[in-house]
């Protein structure tokens, strides 16, 4: 693929987690989280984006979110479980994205707040329709996702490079 063709990054926050007596990394999804993860998967499938790669945090709640969401996809992308996504800042997430091979056109990152929301905010230099307004109003609740696009190589991902194309969050 040419680096001039638009690329897509979907930033997907894990679904609602439970709070049992385990470490933060081991927290599973709550019942509502399991429902919302499947709904987010249906919404992601409805975008028609053919994902080439999914980068998922190693935390239990992100892995469970991904397992439930990807079940709704017509095609399962290659999945890499990446420890650096857990508790990552937006800058650390950009560093992970910068390592993406250039044959990947459409990437899905399943992670955590505040990093995922911060990354959506700083990457999106412009927005379509009311996507920014909806994201600013709702924040980035559990199971929300933002669809961004940019032109260039993955090494060129930096603040302001992308356009926010869509945003979705489950109903409260």
Taking only the tens place, the pLDDT of each residue in 108-153 is 999 999 999 999 999 999 998 899 999 999 999 999 999 999 999 9
CA dist 148 and 157 (Å) reads 11
Token couple for 41: 């998967």
Per the listing, tokens 């991904």 go with 66
CA–CA distances in Å: residue 31 to residues 16, 23, 41, 65, 165: 8, 19, 16, 12, 30
Q: Is the pLDDT of residue 2 over 70?
A: no
Give the pLDDT confidence score for residue 5 in this predicted structure.
80
Taking CA 146 as the corner, what is the angle to CA 18 and CA 14, rounded to the nearest 5 degrees? 15
* Report field, pTM of the whole predicted structure over 0.85: yes
The pLDDT, as a whole number, for residue 73 is 97
Give the Cα separation of 24 and 59 in Å (integer): 8
């Amino acid at each position: 693929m040419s680096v001039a063709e638009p690329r897509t990054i979907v930033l997907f926050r894990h679904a609602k987690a439970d709070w049992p007596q385990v470490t933060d990394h081991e927290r599973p999804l709550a019942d509502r989280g399991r429902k919302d993860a499947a709904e987010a998967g249906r919404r992601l499938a409805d975008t028609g984006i053919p994902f080439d790669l999914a980068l998922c945090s190693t935390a239990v709640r992100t892995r469970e979110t991904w397992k439930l969401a990807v079940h709704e996809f017509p095609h399962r992308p290659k999945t890499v479980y990446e420890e650096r996504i857990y508790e990552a800042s937006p800058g650390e997430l950009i560093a992970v994205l910068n390592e993406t091979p250039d044959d990947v056109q459409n990437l899905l990152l399943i992670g955590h707040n505040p990093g995922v929301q911060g990354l959506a905010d700083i990457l999106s230099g412009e927005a379509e329709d009311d996507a920014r307004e909806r994201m600013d109003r709702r924040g980035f609740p559990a199971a929300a996702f933002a669809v961004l696009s940019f032109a260039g190589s993955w090494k060129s991902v930096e603040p302001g490079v992308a356009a926010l194309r869509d945003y979705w969050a489950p109903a409260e």
